[in-house]
Structures are given as C-alpha cells and as structure tokens.
C-alpha cells in the first residue's frame, strides 16, 4: 500500500522498536497511566510518534515535523498545527509516510480514524489508536492493501464494552486471518485482553505504558505454532 495503488517494499524494516508512551494499562512501574494511547516507533527511516495526545507540547519543542491528520479532524485543530509551524498533511486516502510505514487512510463513518501498516521482514504490523471503525474492518483493509502475512495487530480494539460473544468472534476472525501475535490495549478492556491472552497464549503481548516491543526479537512462528492457547 503506497500512495494509493503503488506497490509496497518487499523487504521491510528489520530493526523496528515500538515503545508505548501512553496507555491506560500499567506496565513500567515508574510511569503513570492515563486514558489514551501513544507509541513511539524507532528503527525505521523516520522516528514516528503515533496517535499523539500531547501534540501541542511536542510541537513547542520541535516544529520541524510533518503531522499526518485525518481530513475529518476539526478545522481549528488543523489550523493550530499549522500555526505551530509544523507541516500539515491531511489524510484521506492511503499514503506512504516513509519507507515501509504507511497510513491506511481515513476509515469509518461517524468517527473516522487512520491507522498504521508497517512492513517488517517478519510480516505486517497493524497499529490502531482506538478502532472506532471496527478492528476487523481495519485488519481486513490492511490485508487487502498490502501483501504479506500479518505478524502483529496491536493498539486499541474498541472492545471495552463488548460482550464475550463479540470478542470471541473477533478472536476467531483473527485466527482465520492468520494473525500471529496480538497486543490489545487502551480501549480493549480486561475481558477482551483476558480472552485474547487465553486464546493466543505465548503469542499474546502484554502491553501497557512503558512496554517496548523489539520486533526483531519476536520469534517467527508459523501459523500453526501460534495456536498455543485455549479457545472456547
């Protein structure tokens, strides 16, 4: 997936690290939790903060950045980004951010979001903020846009208030899509996180504020090896 229908690199990032800067789930004891989600990606062509809640503070310290904002965001928000001196890039269609990292474009109806598709040598990583458009719709959109196995789906899945039945349907669909690792956090809720952990077993990644995922250190199991948990 690149700028609309351009082909994606066949190589992928080989030294990507993802640090969870903000999440409402605890991980590192020295960090406080807060409602929301933000992650810092390093090791690619560019360093990328994703789903940054404290954007104004960041721009006070560094204005020489490009900010990718869904076109549906309020006009005053977009204008404020430009007033701070940052380069504003409005996102509507899928586009390339840098080598091997792509915005999936603006998805959703009432609440529109973008999410990231990251091509690594071990497979695709799909990173969502809150998944208001539906986590399955987002994963399916990524699968249709970029070739390759799905290594990891992580971020908010918008399952905080979902029933056990709905969560199990999502997990079942993930398995059918051959998603090898999962890292649900933010708006997933304890029930969903527990069910994902039970089903994915050793392929479940416990995510919270301060967690660092070194992608190259993740084992590269085949899909069969990912069936390590117990699914009802």
Q: Note the pLDDT of residue 220.
A: 65
Confidence at 6, pLDDT banded by 50, 70, 90: very low
Q: Cα–Cα distance between 180 and 120 in angstroms, integer?
A: 14
* Higher per-residue pLDDT: 141 or 226: 141
With CA atoms as reference, report the closest residue to 129 among 75, 72, 70, 82. 70
Q: Decide the pairing of beta strands 101-103 and 95-98.
A: antiparallel
**What SS3 state is found at 112?**
coil
Please provide residue 168's backbone torsions phi and psi, each rounded to the nearest 5 degrees.
Answer: -65, -35
Q: In sequence order, what are the beta bridge partners of 126?
A: 117, 153
The mean predicted confidence, pLDDT, of the chain is 89
Burial class (CB in 10 A: 0-12, 13-18, 19+), 103: buried
| Percent of the chain whose pLDDT exceeds 70 | 91
Q: Note the pLDDT of residue 147.
A: 81
**What SS3 state is found at 166?**
helix
Q: Note the pLDDT of residue 227.
A: 52
Task: Answer for the pair 185, 27: CB distance below 8 angstroms, yes or no.
Answer: no
Q: Cα–Cα distance between 32 and 27 in angstroms, integer?
A: 9
Q: Note the pLDDT of residue 222.
A: 53
Helix, strand, coil distribution of the chain in percent, nearest 5 = 30, 30, 45
Q: What is the mean pLDDT of the segment spanning 156-161? A: 96
Q: Note the pLDDT of residue 166.
A: 97
Q: Note the pLDDT of residue 77.
A: 92
Q: Note the pLDDT of residue 10.
A: 54
Q: What is the mean pLDDT of the segment spanning 122-127? A: 95
Q: Over the stretch 21-46, which tens digit does the pLDDT of each residue have?
A: 999 999 999 999 999 999 999 999 99
Q: Could you count the other beta carbons within 10 Å of the beta carbon of residue 10? A: 9
The CATH-assigned architecture of domain 17-47+93-226 is 4-Layer Sandwich (3.60)
Block residue for tokens 């082909």: 7
Confidence at 57, pLDDT banded by 50, 70, 90: confident
């Amino acid at each position: 997936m690149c700028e609309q229908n351009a082909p994606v690199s066949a190589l992928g990032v080989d030294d990507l690290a993802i640090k969870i800067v903000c999440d409402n789930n605890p991980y590192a004891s020295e960090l406080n939790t807060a409602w929301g989600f933000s992650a810092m990606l390093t090791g690619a062509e560019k360093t990328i903060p994703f789903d940054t809640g404290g954007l104004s503070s960041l721009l006070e310290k560094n204005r020489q950045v490009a900010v990718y904002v869904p076109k549906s965001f309020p006009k005053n928000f977009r204008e404020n980004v430009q007033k701070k001196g940052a380069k504003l890039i409005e996102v509507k269609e899928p586009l390339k951010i840098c080598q091997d990292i792509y915005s999936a474009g603006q998805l959703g109806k009432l609440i529109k979001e973008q999410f990231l598709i990251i091509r690594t040598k071990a497979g695709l990583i799909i990173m969502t903020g809150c998944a208001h458009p539906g986590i399955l719709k987002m994963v399916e959109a990524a699968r249709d846009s970029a070739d390759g196995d799905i290594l990891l789906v992580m971020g908010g899945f918008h399952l905080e208030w979902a029933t056990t039945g709905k969560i199990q349907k999502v997990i079942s669909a993930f398995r059918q899509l051959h998603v090898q690792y999962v890292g649900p956090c933010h708006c997933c809720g304890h029930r969903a996180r527990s069910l994902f952990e039970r089903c994915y077993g050793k392929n479940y990644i416990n995510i919270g504020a301060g967690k660092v995922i070194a992608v190259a250190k993740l084992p590269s199991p085949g899909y069969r090896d990912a069936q390590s948990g117990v699914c009802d």
